Structure 1
Amino acid sequence: MFKNVIVRVPSKSVVEGISSANLGKPDYNLALKQHELYVSALTKTGVNVTVLEPNDEFPDSCFVEDVALCTRKCAIITRPGAETRRNESALPDLQEALSKFYEHIEYIKAPGTIEAGDIMMVGDHFYIGESARTNREGAEQMIAILEKYGLSGSIVPLKEVLHLKTGLAYLENNNLLVAGEFVKSPEFEKYNKIIVPEDEAYGANCIWVNDYVLVPEGYPTVQKAIEDLGYKVLVVDTSEFRKIDGGLSCLSLRF
């Protein structure tokens, strides 16, 4: 169960966020409203939400998930692969917020790069995507830190998607949402796979929080499949974050 969540309010510069989506620039005011509704959905799951102030210097900084991995034993500050995001992980308010919850905080060091959007937690094991943003050195450093605390990790090479969790979402109870290149991955054979249809691939980025599942708005097949498994579903519109390659999981640290 999760007790705490950290989010960062989108800044006005969010319209300049990194994008490969070709969906146009986000509407700042609509992004703010969607973010408020996202936080509201999270509070319904019973977590305490720490809200960090917007930071105009970093257009993508609302995607707070990428800059730290929060485990039950320690927090690990990452080193983002995107150059424009490299210094987000050093922001004092983030470090201060994490230090309130964690006695042990570790750091990924150069030349390693890793973004936690590439990391999927299943119990005490962490699947780490080797991607354009996460290199082998970063993944190996992360695994070494996890093992220091009695946790484990394994590397999954990515071919198509931006981040591992672009196409995977672990919903606890052995249930795994799977899209695109991961449908036939041998690493995930042991799970009860819920295959996401190609035309709803973005909907694969859901998040489980205390027996609720947050699902992006507009993906009815995904929503129904999750409801059929017995989860309580909260639907959240993320249209403006999709325009800058973001989804539900990217917008929070959950621990």
Structure 2
Amino acid sequence: MSNPATHFTHAVSRRPGASVTGGLRAEDRGAPDLARMLAAHDAYIATLRETGAEVIVLEALEDYPDALFVEDTALCLPEGAVMMRPGADSRMGEVAHMRPTLAGLFDDLRDIAGPGHIEGGDILFTGREVLVGRSARTDAAGVAELRAILDEWGHPLREMQTPDGVLHFKTDCSLLDPETILSTRLLDASGCFDGYRVLHLPEGEEAAANAIRFNDVVLMPDGFPRTAEMLEREGYDVRLIDNTDCALLDGGMSCLSLRLNVA
């Protein structure tokens, strides 16, 4: 049976809007180029579809510049979906816009009611457990509320601390297969991946840490040749996606989709 953390029947993504140039960023390194971002998004969607998955592409939300980063709005598991409660005030409204789509895919929809906050970018589902990193966007109260839901669904949750200066837990790691995690040395040094095989990013290519395993391919940002070579040497089918503009908004491969299984 395929692992629900790496193999999917469906994905949900959202087109970038013109307002994306005003998206949140930890450091202002310039505004993204919308035309180039749309072309990269097309390539991303096409790659997901090539695996045989059905990809639902939602229209842009101009009132929410960061809405293309749909991963932060929900956690999708075999039992159902949990609607998140983003830690950035400007992103809170995105969840309600995602709800109708997920309600059409899942029978069981749960909510993080608050007052805590949690974002999908801080959650790594490995198939055998759910790893959650507290960060500037995810706090202890949000994690506790998610834990109560996952206890009911039978998924163990392991809570840890995302390193200072790292936006999301998955900014610095990704799941390559149920036993293997790609990680920066900084994050792995905490011991959070004990029990897994860990591949470290080559020095100077830490920004390639956010990749996604989607069915039989690994999507990773272009421009990191040593990381791509390492993954290919390990036997992964690597597909390179231009992440130039998403990176200006601290976004990456996992941020751009919700990945799920629907019978």
TM-score, length basis structure 1 = 0.96
Indicate the residue corresponding to 1:179 in structure 2.
184
Specify the code of the residue in structure 2 equivalent to 1:201: E
Q: 2:157 aligns with which of 153, 159, 163?
A: 153
Tell me how far apart the structure 2 counterparts of residues 159 and 194 of structure 1 sit (CA, whole Å): 18
CA distance in 2, matches of 1:173, 1:137: 28
Q: Could you say which residue in structure 2 is the equivalent of 1:112?
A: 116
Displacement of 1:185: 2.1
1:9–1:35 Cα contact (<8 Å) kept: yes
1:106-145 to 2 correspondences below 5 Å: 106-145=110-149
- Asked if 1:230 is matched to 2:235, the reply is yes
Asked if the contact 1:66–1:117 (Cα under 8 Å) also holds between the matched residues in 2, the reply is yes
Shift in Å, 1:183 = 2.5
Amino acid at match of 1:195: H
Deviations 1:5-64 (A, max 9, x none): 000000100000001243210011111111111101111122100011100000000000
The size of the alignment, in residue pairs, is 253
1:10 correspondence with 2:23:
no
State the Cα RMSD in Å.
1.1
Unaligned runs of 5+ in 2: 1-6
Q: Residue in 2 aligned with 1:239?
A: 244
Q: 5 Å matches for 1:5-154?
A: 5-91=11-97, 94-154=98-158
Could you tell which deviates more after superposition, 188-197 or 58-67?
188-197
Distance 1:145 1:173 in 2: 22
| Residue of structure 1 in register with 2:3 after alignment | none
Cα-to-partner distance string for 1:186-244 (whole Å, 9 max, x where unaligned): 22122111111341111010000112100110011111111111111111111110001
Identity %: 37
Q: 1:208 maps to which residue?
A: 213
**Normalising by the residue count of structure 2, what TM-score does the alignment of the two structures yield?**
0.94
Q: Distance in 2 between matches of 1:222 and 1:44?
A: 23
Shift of 1:180: 4.1
Shift of 1:173: 3.9
* Secondary structure of the corresponding residue to residue 204 of structure 2: helix
Shift of 1:101: 1.3
More displaced stretch, 71-80 vs 29-38: 29-38
Preserved CA contact (<8 Å) 1:41 1:236: no
Matched position secondary structure for 2:107 = coil
Aligned partners of 1:21, 1:192: CA distance in 2, in Å? 32
Q: Which amino acid aligns with 1:87?
A: G
Asked if the contact 2:71/2:257 (under 8 Å) is kept, the reply is yes
Deviates more, 1:57-66 or 1:210-219: 210-219
Q: Which moved more, 1:14-23 or 1:203-212?
A: 14-23
Partner of 1:162, secondary structure, is coil
Query: Is 2:175–2:182's contact at 8 Å kept on the other side of the alignment?
Result: yes
